[in-house]
Amino acid sequence: MEMLLMGACLSMFGLAVTCLAFGAATRPEHSTAAAAPAAELKKEMVKAAAPARFFVQQPIVPIAAHARVPLEALLLQLESHVRLEQAAVESFLQTPTSALLHSRTVSPLVN
Amino acid sequence: MVKPMLKADLLNGLNEEDAGRVMALAKRTILTSGAELFHLGDSAESIYLIARGRLRLTLPMQVRDREENVLVEERVPGQTVGWSALIPPFRFTLTATAPLETEVFALSRDALHAHFAANPLAGYAVSMNLASVIGERLQLFQTMWVREVQRMVEARCA
């Protein structure tokens, strides 16, 4: 009888250990408090590494500011921008350097 | 009025006699202020040398739900416009408008081809000048494009 009870106890203990081991093996990573910030960081890194879609999204332009400008003034700004860009480009073509290629413009459309 | 045109960019390198023969093919046209010389998409039959005034080359752009012709380039006396007349598919890719009274000399493609077939040296010189005009446009716009892309990259990485 004692042997039988000891065997039953050992079986129950073995079953409990097996259940704990199974639970630990199948537990998802984000369920732990410590793993949560790491997962967030990983997501952000993936987002940052995603390639930018230059030709799909519109460039960031301060539209709200331009919306207040009358149409005629906006067209003049566009024309002025084109002239300034051409002047900058002609300067680059005279002396092609990386610095002149990306020289800053005073055009209000991009500032 | 033809004589000053002998120094036009398209005739660079030709002697006075050869340049005079090319200009003899030209038809003089006066554009009043605001007149359009050619329109985007039109069939391009002639190339133009500007003798006096100015030409605005524009492209249509949507600005606040309205289509506006936005300046792309401005050409002055001695310069050539409308080289689409010599480059397939012979369609203008810009609109040219005179902002003030402007005088141009039109050289038709057919007349030039016939003349150059008979005068290959003149044809070579004009072709080289045309390549130079087109090359300048290419350099201008590829550089402007790279500058815009650079700004786009900076805006996105900011």
The answer on pLDDT for A48 being more than 70 is no
Burial call B79-98: b when 16+ CB within 10 Å, e when fewer:
bbbbbbbbeeeeebebbbbb
What mean pLDDT comes out for the span A89-98?
92
Q: Compute CA distances B65 → B16, B60, B62, B100, whole Å.
A: 51, 12, 6, 28
Chain A positions touching B143 (Cβ under 8 A) are 89, 92-93, 101
The pLDDT tens digits for A28-39 are 544 444 444 555
Which residue's entry shows tokens 């930018």? Answer: A52
How far lies B28's CA from each of B2, B59, B100, B156, in Å? 9, 25, 16, 51
Q: Residue B119's domain is classified under what CATH number?
A: 2.60.120.10
Residue A14 binned pLDDT confidence (cut-offs 50, 70, 90): confident
Query: Torsions phi, psi of B97, nearest 5?
Result: -130, 145
- Give the relative orientation of helices B16-23 and B120-157 as an angle to the nearest 10 degrees: 80
Residue A87: what residue type? A
Number of Cβ pairs < 8 A linking chain A and chain B: 52
Contacts of A88 in chain B (CB under 8 A): 147
pLDDT at residue A31 in the model: 45
DSSP E strand boundaries for chain B = 27-31, 36-38, 46-52, 55-63, 66-75, 80-81, 95-97, 102-108
- Between A54-58, A74-78, B4-8, B117-121, the lowest mean confidence (pLDDT) is in A54-58
Report the pLDDT value the prediction gives residue A111, as an integer from 0 to 100. Answer: 72
Decide if pLDDT at A3 tops 80: no
Q: Name the interface residues of A facing B (CB cutoff 8 Å).
A: 52, 54, 59-60, 71, 74-75, 78-79, 82-83, 85-86, 88-90, 92-93, 101-102, 110
pLDDT (0 to 100) of residue A101: 93
Q: Are A74 and B63 in contact (CB under 8 A)?
A: yes
State whether residue A70 is helix, strand or coil: coil
Which residue carries 């073995």 as its tokens?
Answer: A14
Residue corresponding to tokens 């006096």: B52
| Parent domain of B62 | 3-157
Q: What is the reported pLDDT for B35?
A: 98
pLDDT reported for residue B121: 95
Top-confidence residue, B89 or A55: B89
- Other beta carbons within 10 Å of B72: 20
Please tell me the total count of domains within chain B.
Answer: 1
pLDDT beneath 70, residues of chain B:
1-2
> Smallest CA–CA separation between A39 and chain B, in Å?
24
* Average pLDDT value for residue range A105-109: 83
Q: What is the ipTM of this complex?
A: 0.79
Q: How far is CA B144 from the centre of its chain?
A: 19
Check the CA dihedral A71-A76-A79-A85 and report its sign: negative
Phi, psi at B10, each rounded to 5°: -70, -25
Residue % of chain A over a pLDDT of 90:
23
